[in-house]
């Protein structure tokens, strides 16, 4: 009714309640909004713990996120980065990217740590090396359109953007589902697969 998009309403809520420069407080404010006000397609706290644990275990130097949305997953990933590491996050929707940019900076992460790239993943991935300096990613989080998971994984392979032993973490592969991506990952012989059982956000 207000004409203000849901994501912008959520950001105004976070801005009014979160402590600037405190990433965990920013995430908590988002979780409060998602639980009490309106649903957002963030990772949420339960899946967030899986992401956080894996980032801590792998200690990646270069991280790629496909699907920034409001920046929740970006902040979560940036929290676990070791010193000197860099995160590249890609968002196709300029409106979502505008919100995410403010969220990322509110959480205290500058452009030296997190680079937000606006554009369709199929256009961004081929130019990650030359234009953005991402030689190879040690950790990839896919949280964009599920039907694009397989296409973008193949693009990452084709452009030699996956470091040896890289971790590729894909959200919502069971529901709403990414069956072709799962089948490829399990049968192509390049990956060892594990499904993490969890619930939907909020």
pLDDT tens per residue, range 9-66: 999 999 999 999 999 999 999 999 988 888 888 999 999 999 999 999 999 999 999 9
CATH number at residue 16: 3.40.50.150
Q: Could you confirm whether 194 is annotated as catalytic?
A: no
Judge residue 194's burial from the number of C-beta atoms within 10 Å of its C-beta, 0-12 exposed, 13-18 middle, 19 or more buried.
Answer: exposed
For residue 27, being part of any structural domain is answered with yes
For residue 158, being part of any structural domain is answered with yes
Assess whether pLDDT exceeds 80 at residue 200. Answer: no
Q: Domain range spanning residue 99? A: 6-188
Number of domain units in the chain: 1
Tokens of 99: 């919100």
Higher-confidence residue of 202 and 60: namely: 60
Q: Could you confirm whether 143 is annotated as catalytic?
A: yes
Assess whether pLDDT exceeds 70 at residue 122. Answer: yes
- Model confidence, pTM: 0.94
Which ranges in the chain belong to alpha helices (H)?
Answer: 6-17, 23-36, 44-58, 72-79, 94-106, 121-124, 128-132, 149-158, 179-187
For residue 101, being part of any structural domain is answered with yes
Instruction: Count H helices and E strands in the chain, helices first.
Output: 9, 5
Mean per-residue pLDDT of the chain:
95
Sheet holding 162-170, edge to edge: 114-118, 86-91, 62-66, 137-142, 162-170
Position 132 scores a pLDDT of 97
Position 197 scores a pLDDT of 87
- C-alpha angle 91-166-67 in degrees, rounded to nearest 5: 10
Helix pair 6-17, 94-106: axis angle to 10 deg: 10
For residue 164, being part of any structural domain is answered with yes
For residue 34, being part of any structural domain is answered with yes
How far does CA 54 lie from the centroid of its chain? 13
For residue 179, being part of any structural domain is answered with yes
Tens digit of pLDDT for each residue in 123-180? 999 999 999 999 999 999 999 999 999 999 999 999 999 999 999 999 999 888 899 9
pLDDT range class, residue 117, cuts 50, 70, 90? very high
Q: Could you confirm whether 201 is annotated as catalytic?
A: yes
Task: Please enumerate in sequence order all residues whose Cβ is within 8 A of that of 116, keeping only pairs 6 or more positions apart, or say none.
Answer: 68, 74, 89, 91, 97, 100, 101, 104
Q: Within a 10 A sphere around the Cβ of 158, how many other Cβ atoms? A: 10
For residue 116, being part of any structural domain is answered with yes
Position 175 scores a pLDDT of 84
Find the catalytic residue in 7, 91, 143, 152: 143
Cβ contact 68:96 at 8 Å: yes
Cis (ω within 30 of 0) for the bond into 117? no
Position 140 scores a pLDDT of 98
Find the catalytic residue in 65, 138, 146, 152: 146
Percent of the chain with pLDDT strictly greater than 70: 99
Tens digit of pLDDT for each residue in 184-198? 999 999 999 999 988
Q: Could you confirm whether 42 is annotated as catalytic?
A: no
Find the catalytic residue in 38, 172, 186, 194: 172
Give dist(CA 169, CA 146) in Å, integer: 12
For residue 46, being part of any structural domain is answered with yes
Tens digit of pLDDT for each residue in 2-12? 688 999 999 99
Position 1 scores a pLDDT of 59
DSSP code of residue 81: P
Q: Could you confirm whether 138 is annotated as catalytic?
A: no
């Amino acid at each position: 009714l207000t004409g203000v998009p849901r994501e912008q309403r959520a950001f105004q809520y976070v801005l009014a309640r979160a402590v600037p420069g405190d990433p965990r407080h920013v995430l908590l404010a988002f979780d409060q909004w998602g639980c009490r006000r309106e649903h957002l397609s963030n990772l949420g706290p339960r899946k967030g713990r899986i992401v956080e644990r894996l980032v801590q275990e792998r200690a990646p130097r270069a991280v790629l996120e496909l699907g920034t949305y409001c920046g929740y997953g970006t902040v979560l990933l940036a929290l676990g980065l070791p010193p000197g590491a860099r995160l590249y996050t890609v968002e196709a929707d300029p409106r979502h990217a505008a919100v995410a940019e403010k969220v990322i900076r509110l959480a205290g992460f500058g452009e030296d740590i997190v680079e937000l790239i606006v554009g369709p993943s199929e256009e961004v991935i081929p130019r990650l090396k030359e234009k953005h300096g991402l030689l190879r990613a040690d950790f990839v989080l896919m949280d964009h359109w599920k039907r694009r998971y397989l296409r973008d994984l193949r693009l990452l392979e084709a452009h030699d953007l996956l470091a040896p032993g890289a971790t590729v973490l894909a959200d919502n592969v069971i529901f709403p589902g990414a069956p072709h991506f799962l089948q490829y990952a399990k049968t192509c012989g390049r990956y060892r697969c594990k499904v993490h059982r969890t619930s939907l956000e909020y």
